[in-house]
């Protein structure tokens, strides 16, 4: 069953987006939704929506669209959200502790069991059910509690060493917020959240507007 499921990263992202839309529709009492409407809500073409969803089975009801609850349930299963993922946060600074409180994580089944930090002054602090533990205890905790996912929020300089320890302890996936590239084996999945890259995309786009608006000078919005 694995081969027909080999889908692209961008498809997986769109599936996440469909699921979010379907949940909103469902909580608003909507029972069926057309591919046109799903496409409109997701900012996509309806052909894209139909193509994406057809890879996973036949969810459409001819003339009525998709069954909102059934499709949401199937996407939840496909995305691996019908189960709990044992998760730790490495780096208990502001970002790490903010993420621990981020409601979407627990809603999606990412259960944060502990935070780890090298700073002794942070040890013992509680965030929800999770406590900040010494970094030296990381491997043992990951092994014993069969932790699957780590959210990495250390400074860039400490990230690779932390990743190496997580990999050695058997982690399956890392969500990397540290602004550096991690070198891990192919068997460990890494997702990167680089906030600076998003901001740079924004500044590039705004500056482009400025260039177009002012014609040839290219000086950007500062000249207004």
Within residues 10-69, the interface with a copy of itself by CB under 8 A covers 12-13, 15-17, 19-21, 24, 41-43
The secondary structure of residue 3, as a DSSP letter, is G
- Is 181 a residue that touches a copy of itself (CB under 8 A)? yes
Rule CB under 8 A: choose which of 2, 27, 58, 121 binds a copy of itself.
2
Q: Would you say 61 or 156 has its CB closer to a copy of itself?
A: 156
CB of 73 to a copy of itself, least distance (A): 15
Edge to edge, what strands does the sheet with 189-192 contain? 126-127, 130-134, 110-117, 85-90, 149-152, 173-176, 189-192
Binding mask 94-133 for a copy of itself (x = CB under 8 A): xx-xxx-xx-xx-xxxx-----------------------
Asked if residue 220 binds a copy of itself (CB under 8 A), the reply is: yes
Nearer residue to a copy of itself within complex by CB, 60 or 109: 109
Contact pick of 142, 162, 175, 184 for a copy of itself (by CB under 8 A): 175
- The answer to whether 156 and 93 are in contact (CB under 8 A) is no
Site string for a copy of itself, 129-168 (x = CB under 8 A): -----------------x-xx-------------------
Displacement of CA 111 from its chain's centroid (Å):
14
* Selected binder of a copy of itself within 44, 70, 79, 158 (CB under 8 A): 79
The residue count for binding a copy of itself (CB under 8 A) is 74
Cα Dmax for the chain: 63
Taking the complex as a whole, the smallest distance from the CB of residue 181 to a copy of itself amounts, in Å, to 7
Return the number of the residue (135 or 150) whose C-beta is nearest a copy of itself: 150
Q: Does 85 bind a copy of itself (CB under 8 A)?
A: yes
Query: Residue 29: helix, strand or coil by DSSP?
Result: coil
Among 57, 80, 120, 128, binds a copy of itself (CB under 8 A): 80
- Using alpha carbons, list the distances in angstroms from residue 148 to 79, 98, 120: 15, 20, 25
Residue 114 forms beta bridges with which residues? Answer: 88, 131
User: Could you give the CA distance from residue 121 to residue 4 in angstroms, rounded to a whole number?
Assistant: 50
Q: Which residue has the tokens 């969803």?
A: 53
Check the CA dihedral 213-217-223-224 and report its sign.
negative
Q: Which two tokens stand for residue 37?
A: 């409407």
């Amino acid at each position: 069953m694995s081969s027909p499921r080999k889908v692209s990263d961008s498809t997986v992202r769109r599936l996440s987006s469909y699921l979010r839309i379907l949940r909103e529709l469902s909580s608003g009492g909507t029972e069926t939704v057309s591919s046109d409407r799903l496409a409109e809500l997701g900012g996509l073409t309806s052909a894209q929506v139909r193509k994406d969803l057809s890879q996973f089975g036949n969810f459409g009801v001819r003339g009525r669209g998709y069954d909102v609850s059934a499709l949401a349930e199937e996407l939840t299963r496909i995305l691996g959200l019908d189960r709990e993922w044992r998760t730790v946060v490495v780096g208990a600074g502001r970002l790490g502790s903010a993420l621990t409180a981020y409601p979407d994580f627990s809603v999606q089944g990412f259960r944060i069991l502990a935070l780890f930090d090298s700073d002794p002054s942070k040890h013992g602090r509680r965030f929800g059910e999770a406590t900040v533990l010494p970094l030296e205890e990381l491997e043992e905790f990951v092994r014993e509690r069969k932790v699957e996912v780590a959210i990495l929020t250390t400074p860039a300089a400490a990230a690779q060493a932390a990743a190496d320890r997580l990999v050695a302890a058997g982690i399956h996936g890392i969500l990397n917020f540290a602004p550096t590239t991690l070198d891990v084996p192919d068997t460990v999945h890494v997702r990167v959240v680089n906030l600076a890259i998003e901001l740079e995309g924004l500044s590039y786009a705004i500056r482009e507007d400025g260039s177009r608006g002012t014609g040839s000078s290219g000086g950007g919005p500062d000249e207004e």
